[in-house]
Structure 1
Amino acid sequence: MSRVLAVIGECVAAAHEGQSGALWRLAERDRQLDANLVRLPGGGSVAAHVEPALDVLLIVVEGAGRLGDGVTHRALEPGSVVWLPRSARRELSAGPDGLTYLTVHRRRPGLSIGRRSAGAAPASAARDCPSCGRPSREAEARFCCWCGAELPAATGT
């Protein structure tokens, strides 16, 4: 049965001053989509990365920023709708007042148990996102590439 799950303006208004990361996420059981309302703080960023499996639709709700692909940068403003094709490099940076955006993509399949490839390092719980629980992709990342939340400081090895 269809129903209204959230009102984006209300989610943004309900967030406390300075709150960043996921402000809302689609959490319905048996869904085929994932969606996240994410706020990056002023000057915050999502490190350059490549999403190998999923196309992502990004809609800017509030604030401003820039989207980069490693070669060019494009300005983002409220109302910008961006298609991020799978396998394309992308990075986001927020302007001085922050950037709030909605992402929508096909739901990822559940994690499967399997063998690690030779030489692969085990996942570090210290680098799991405190907001969405997903592991960071880059050792030096400051913000989660999945939901935009600030990651805990990397521990030296």
Structure 2
Amino acid sequence: MAAEDGDPWGPAAPPLPRVLCDTARLPSPGGEAAAGVLWKLAEPGRQLDANVVRLPAGGRVDTHTEPDLDVLLLVLDGTARLDSADGEHPLRTGALTWLPHGSTRAVLAGPDGVTYLTVHRRRPGLRIQPPEAADRLRRSLGEGA
């Protein structure tokens, strides 16, 4: 059998760029149905996570610290306020903000709400492992016999 006959489906095709979402066509800012995650990147094999999020007027993402991931936040529509350790920062349409890992932040939507895109490295998924994997880890840490 020749090498080219080894894969009945042919060589794997390289991934191709493609348009995933037209943010201008996402639900409009009115009403409760338009709040929350409007779109998320869900392509298999990706290295990034991305979400388009809508907060209604006065909505907020409470104060939190992201210990592991840098996040880019791009305001697509509306206004918001970013609260961080160094104070309050107004955000308007077009504002691109870097939220470094380890930083503490909160986002408060303006009077007309805010729609924004976040992008960050993909978090590794949880993997189910056999019970003996935990035993091996304990032994390597000197916690078991």
Give the shorter-chain TM-score range: 0.7 to 0.9
Report the Cα offset of residue 11 of structure 1. 1.6
* 1:17 paired residue number: 31
Is 1:28 the counterpart of 2:28? The answer is no
- Which one has a larger percent helix, Structure 1 or Structure 2? 2
- The runs of 4+ residues in structure 1 deviating greater than 3 Å are 112-115
* 2:6 paired residue number: none
TM-score by length of 1: 0.68
Separation (CA, whole Å) in 1 of partners of 2:48 and 2:88? 28
Separation (CA, whole Å) in 2 of partners of 1:70 and 1:91? 10
Separation (CA, whole Å) in 1 of partners of 2:74 and 2:84? 17
Separation (CA, whole Å) in 1 of partners of 2:83 and 2:100? 13
Is 1:47 the counterpart of 2:73? The answer is no
Separation (CA, whole Å) in 2 of partners of 1:17 and 1:43? 13
* 2:97 paired residue number: 82
Report the Cα offset of residue 71 of structure 1. 3.9
Q: Secondary structure at the match of 1:31?
A: coil
Note the 1:1-157 alignment, pairs <5 A: 1-13=16-28, 17-18=31-32, 19-112=34-127
Report the Cα offset of residue 16 of structure 1. 6.3
- How many corresponding residue pairs? 114
Q: Secondary structure at the match of 1:9?
A: helix
Instruction: For structure 1, list consecutive stretches of 5 or more residues without a partner in the other structure.
Output: 116-157
Separation (CA, whole Å) in 1 of partners of 2:126 and 2:100? 22
Per-residue deviation, residues 71-105 of structure 1 (Å, max 9, x unmatched): 40000000000000000011000011111100000
Report the Cα offset of residue 37 of structure 1. 0.1
TM-score by length of 2: 0.73
Identity of aligned residues (%): 51
Q: Which amino acid aligns with 1:78?
A: T
Separation (CA, whole Å) in 2 of partners of 1:43 and 1:106? 28
